Structure 1
Amino acid sequence: MVRVLPEGRLSYGMQLPVQSQSVIYAEGWEAGAGPEDLAEIARVADRSGFAYIATCDHVAIPRRLADAMSTVWYDPVATLAFLAAVTERVQLLSHVAVVGLRHPLVSAKQYATLDHLSGGRLILGVGAGHVEEEFTAVGADFAGRGAVLDETIDALRAALGPEEFPEFSGERFSFSGLGQRPRPARERVPVWVGGSSPAAVRRAAVRGDGWLPQGDPRDKLAVQIEKLRRLRAQAGNEEPVEIGAITEPLYVGPAGWDVGRRTLRGGPDAIAESLRAYRAMGVDQIQVRFRSRSRSELTDQMAAFATEVAPLLQK
């Protein structure tokens, strides 16, 4: 296993705003934001102890989904490479890369270069995808995307390993005698598997260094974690797995505006007490998101969380 997070602590990271703007979670100010906003948010995360910053992955959004999902989805490799240049420590997570849309050697070239340029800060988060039109447009197999992802993970393990001339032979992909440099800075790039379906949980249990659940509510997450650990043991995988959770939206301190019914708000003690419940379930890292009306309010929230809430997470 490639351990990314400090053992025995509840780490925190965030999915970046601006780079994906689904109406489910995007704030109003993001529509007019751009590269400098992303860069400043990444710099704040870097100096505030965030474990990672994350980006999403969609190639193209069909009209039937555009109103809900929007068509704003930055390319993850380009975005993370851009942000690697303005940060020093924070990990760079694809959450998640739909790697079944691309040949494994293409993905390996992109992500190996990113890890090399960033000094070994890549976490490769992968998922099956859900937009059929994307797969059709690029000639990928939508119906068989689960099996494709399983084999792609195995192929990427080989292609992102230490060997300049990696070898892999599977049902869909095979390669040998083909060299790729630069190699990743890490000897083994960590692969975190995203998704909460039964197939995704099994995939994370069997193949993942980490698990990225997608919106499991608290009252169901503990059962999912127990299932993952059981499946991992049944598969004979004795390596530990780094488990994540996506928290409720957060707002540190008095809001003075409508931050939404589901938002976890209030003083640092109350927020930390609530979030520590994730650690009790066996979660290693929480992905946090803050309600905000501007970039400055977001970065203020990030700083407040880091200085006032994060130290209380370990109690």
Structure 2
Amino acid sequence: ASLDAASGGRVVAGLGSGWSLDEYAAAAVAPFEQRGKVLDEVIDVCRAVWGPDPVEYEGALTTVAPSVVGPKPKGPLPILLPAGSPRALRRLVDRADGWMPVGMGAEALAEQWRQLQELAAERGRTEPVQSVLRVNTQHTGKNYEGADRRPFQGSVAQIVEDLHAHAAVGVEEILIDLQGRARDAAELKDLAAEVYAAARAAGV
């Protein structure tokens, strides 16, 4: 909520059920097999805390006695979820404001987007589904020539080519992580400027 106020109401909440057995074991909140139920409760708690006071919640893992909780965000923060299974897709359509997929290939993204839209229509959703694509790049300087090249792996030109293909699917925003192999902040800044200029020149 503090960040939302500082940014003029631009914060979105990207949440997920997690994938790491080690992280779940370390947190010791619930068994890994219950991560979907945990996420459902997290969403409920967030909605309650961001809403009007007094905040009160009683769940399997969380209890909030009647309380005044502040600061409040400008409005309920949009919740975006990934969706890698039928159950996760249903949760997204029924409970979230938007979709947060990973850039794993334009064809796969287009198919996931089609499935999501069909499910939203089937379940009677009328609100539009926001979409923010998360892109993890592996910048290699020169073109990556191997047949095993993954999306967003290689030169700036290859990264921008993949950006263009993914943007054509129709996602509203793309969040690009370029810091994987940058040696320092100056190199990251230069790479970001180069990618930005190339992407704009390509119409992205």
Same fold (TM over 0.5): yes
2:72 to 160, 167, 183: 183
The CA deviation at 1:225 is 0.9
- Partner of 2:54 in structure 1? 165
- Partner of 2:4 in structure 1? 115
1:135 to 24, 27, 42: 24
- Partner of 1:61 in structure 2? none
Q: Which amino acid aligns with 1:212?
A: M
Q: Which amino acid aligns with 1:146?
A: G
Task: Count the aligned residue pairs.
Answer: 197
The CA deviation at 1:127 is 0.9
Q: What value does the CA root-mean-square deviation take over the aligned residues?
A: 3.2
1:306 to 171, 196, 202: 196
**1:194-209 equivalent positions in 2, closer than 5 A:** 194-209=82-97
The two structures have a TM-score, normalised by structure 1, of: 0.53
The two structures have a TM-score, normalised by structure 2, of: 0.76
- What per-residue deviation string (whole Å, max 9, x for no partner) do you get for residues 16-60 of structure 1? xxxxxxxxxxxxxxxxxxxxxxxxxxxxxxxxxxxxxxxxxxxxx
- What per-residue deviation string (whole Å, max 9, x for no partner) do you get for residues 239-271 of structure 1? 11122334473659xx3587974425355xx76
Q: Which amino acid aligns with 1:298?
A: L
**1:241-252 equivalent positions in 2, closer than 5 A:** 241-247=129-135, 249=137
The CA deviation at 1:128 is 0.9
Structure 1 pair 222/289, CA: closer, same or farther in 2 (3 Å)? Answer: same
- What per-residue deviation string (whole Å, max 9, x for no partner) do you get for residues 84-112 of structure 1? xxxxxxxxxxxxxxxxxxxxxxxxxxxx3
Contact 1:250-1:289 within 8 A present in 2 as well: no
Distance in 1 separating the partners of 2:191 and 2:13: 27
Spell out structure 1 runs of 4+ moving beyond 6 A: 257-260
Q: Which runs of 5+ in 2 are unaligned?
A: none
Distance in 2 separating the partners of 1:135 and 1:271: 33
2:110 to 222, 227, 231: 222
The CA deviation at 1:215 is 5.0
Give 3-state SS (helix, strand or coil) of 2:81's partner: strand
Give 3-state SS (helix, strand or coil) of 1:313's partner: coil
The CA deviation at 1:183 is 1.4
Structure 1 pair 311/203, CA: closer, same or farther in 2 (3 Å)? Answer: farther
- Partner of 1:58 in structure 2? none
Q: Percent identity?
A: 32
Q: Which runs of 5+ in 1 are unaligned?
A: 1-111
The CA deviation at 1:308 is 3.4
The CA deviation at 1:165 is 1.6
